[in-house]
Structures are given as structure tokens and as C-alpha cells.
Amino acid sequence: MLIDNHGRTVNYLRIAVTDRCNLRCFYCMPAEGIDYVPKKHLLSYEEMLRLVRILATMGISKVRITGGEPFVRKGIMDFILKLSQVEGIEQINLTTNGILTAPFIPQLLEMGIHSVNLSLDSLDKERFFKITRRDELHKVLDTLHLLVKNKVKTKINCVVMDGQNMEDILPMVNLAKEHDISVRFLEEMPFNGTGLRLQDFKWNFKNILAHIKQEFPNIYKIEDAPNSTSLNYKIEGFQGSIGLIPSFSRTFCGTCNRLRLTPQGMIKTCLYDDGVFNVKDLMRANLTNDELQTHILKAIGSRAKNGFEAEKNRKNQKGVSESMSTIGG
Ligand code: SAM
Ligand code: SF4
């Protein structure tokens, strides 16, 4: 088991397989995109698999594939297949924007994928375009319908943004009425590639809940899964559930069980840190698995207590400004 210096068990790895994306969500990256990492500086699938095999022997049993958009990287399905064959990896989850995802759903099911998080911030074509800068809502909705039809465990991630998608909150909640899905609302974080907030941070999880309560006063709290980042709720008569993710308030750090791997090979022990060490550089310098394990143990043994401490300890003191597509969420 991997246990950090605050007594938290770490058993979950999130892999951002690419920094490239086919959308341009304004809260994640600028309209012109970001400077993509040259291919040779990206971890290869083989390097990712090597790391996963090492981590699986150390206690990591759960993996999430994220990005950028995972489906824009060539060979992703073959990678997921190989990942599903690694001894000790019991659960594979996926986060996707749903643009290219639909045709792969049957294969993902065959590989035993555990759940899919689908990002969807608006059900309105024009607002979707304003947020993502692409006119592709219909593709995301097709993916959602196919996931539901195939009974894939599905969670929707909706970032709440003042002046952008407030009209969507209640229709989004209503998606959980007809479908057994979890609709989760995230606080916006400053990982937009500029570091500047485009609107005031008004919608923390408490205010989002109060907003939902006005329309659904009978919303009630349910038990959260261990290590859950979301606070979960039910509404009488609804098939699905509602979740609130305090991603900026950071109230969930006390039970954090995650490690992150960036497309360039940085190991992060907190979403808000700026990387602990680069595993790609060490692999390419021919370190052995035992030597890599030593670096991993050192990183786990000196984790920040929470996201505020991690942000304060950043080597780059300018604060959080990178694009979330270089981290994976
Ligand atoms: N491209 C995929 C997608 O959008 O689902 C996976 C990568 S994306 C970076 C992962 C998650 O991070 C998405 O649910 C997205 O909404 C969320 N995200 C990105 N930037 C964010 C920000 N500034 N604040 C809060 N959530 C953010
Ligand atoms: Fe792409 Fe996901 Fe970032 Fe949107 S949130 S730009 S879909 S990586």
C-alpha cells in the first residue's frame, strides 16, 4: 500500500494521455489553443504502461484516462486494452468531452471500462458554442444517449460559470430525473491557460446547492463513496443523483487518494502543485524500476496536506495559470 505523510492511502492514478483537444472551452484554454508539447516530449504509451505496472505493484488499483481529449490521441483504444490487462489494475475510468467517443462505446464496454465522465456545460446550442468555441453539442448529446442506452455508469461534469451557463443548471439537474446518471456541478478553477478569471468566483458549491434548492426544496444528502470528491444528493422521484464538486474550495483534500501523470511525464501529488518529478526524464535516463519506485515513494512521503499548501509551495510563484488540458482535471 502507498500511504502518504498525512496517513492517506494513495490507490488512484489519473493519466492525462495528451494535452491536445478538439474543443476550446474558455475556462480551460485560450481561443487560439495552447502551445502543444512536441510529440517527442510526450510520454509514449509504452512509458505510461511501464509506470502503471510499477505503480500497480505498489498499491495503485484504479486508473482514470483523461487529457486534453483522450480520443484525439492515436492508438488510445489499444492503450486502454493493454492497461486493462495490467495485473492489479481493477478499475479503469474515462473522462471525455464526448465529441469522438460514441463509436468506441461498444469496445469500451468489452474492455470492462468502469465508468465514463462526460463533460457537458450547456444543453443550449448557442451557449455550448460560446463556452467551447465549437458547434458540436449534437455529438456530445449522441454520446450521452448511447452511454445511457448501454447502461454505462455515467457522470456528467458541468462547470458552473456566472453569466455563462446559469440557465442550464436546472435543466441539467432534470437530466437525472429520467436517467440513472450522476449530474455533477464543479466550481470553476483558474486553470485556463491565462491564470485570469474571466468572471467573479461567485458559484461555490454552497451557492450552487442553494440555487438548486430554490427549485427542488426536497433535495437531500446521500452517503458519499469513500474518497469521493463530490458531495452527493438525491431528489425524490429522480432515477439519478446530483453531485457538487468543491474543486476550488478544496474541502475534499483530507481523503485525497490521487496521483496525477501529465502528458509530459510530470508526477503531481496534488492538482494544485506544479509537478514533483518528471518520470519520463528518469525513464529516458535509464533508471531501473527500483530506482523509479524510490522516487515515487519520496514524492508520496512528502505530499502537501491540501490544495492550498500545494499552491503555496509551487516553484513557480506566479500561481496557477496552466491549462487544465495539461493536467487532466
Ligand atoms: N477533454 C476531456 C473533458 O473535457 O472531459 C478531459 C479533460 S478535461 C481537462 C477534464 C475535466 O476538467 C472536464 O470535466 C472539464 O470540465 C474540467 N475542467 C477543465 N478546466 C477547468 C477549470 N478551469 N475549472 C473547473 N473544471 C475544469
Ligand atoms: Fe478540451 Fe476538456 Fe479542456 Fe474542454 S475541458 S478544452 S474538452 S481538455
Closest C-alpha to ligand 2, atom 4: 25
Q: Which three cell numbers stand for residue 251?
A: 474541502
Q: Which residues in 92-114 are b (16+ Cβ under 10 Å) and which e? A: bbbbbbbbbbbebbeebeebebe
Region 155-164: what's the mean pLDDT?
96
Cα 28 to averaged position of ligand 1 atoms, centre (Å): 7
**Range 86-106 average pLDDT:** 98
The pLDDT assigned to 281 comes to 98
Specify the DSSP class assigned to residue 301: T
pLDDT of residue 195: 72
Dist. CA 76–CA 103, nearest whole Å = 13
The alpha carbon of 31 and the centre of ligand 2 are apart by a number of angstroms equal to 12
Cα 265 to Cα 296: distance, rounded to the nearest angstrom: 13
Is the beta carbon of 68 within 6 A of some atom in ligand 2? yes
Strand partners, 119: 157
47 within 8 A of 83, measured Cβ to Cβ: no
Q: Does CATH place domain 2-326 in 3.20.20.70? A: yes
Name the grid cell of 31. Answer: 481561443
- Position 194 confidence tier, pLDDT thresholds 50, 70, 90: confident
pLDDT of residue 320: 83
Atom in ligand 2 nearest the alpha carbon of residue 22:
1
Alpha-carbon gap, residue 216 to 200, rounded angstroms: 26
Say whether pLDDT at 317 is over 80. Answer: no
Predicted TM-score of the model (pTM): 0.96
Q: Mean pLDDT throughout 175-195? A: 94
Residue 318 has what pLDDT? 74
Mutation choice for ligand 1 from 324, 326, 327, CB with most ligand atoms inside 8 A: 324
Pocket probe mutation, ligand 1, options 137, 159, 182, 272, max atoms within 8 Å of Cβ: 159
Measure the CA–CA gap between 243 and 249, rounded to whole angstroms.
15
Q: How far is CA 180 from CA 118, 170, 177, in A?
A: 14, 17, 8
CA of 191 to the centre of ligand 1 (A): 9
Nearest to 28 by CA among 189, 252, 251: 189
For 34-44, write each residue's pLDDT tens digit. 888 899 999 99
Q: Is the CB of 144 under 6 A from ligand 2?
A: no
Beta strand 9-10 with 12-16: parallel, antiparallel or unpaired? unpaired
Q: Say yes or no to pLDDT of 310 above 90.
A: yes
Q: Please, what is the average pLDDT of the chain?
A: 96
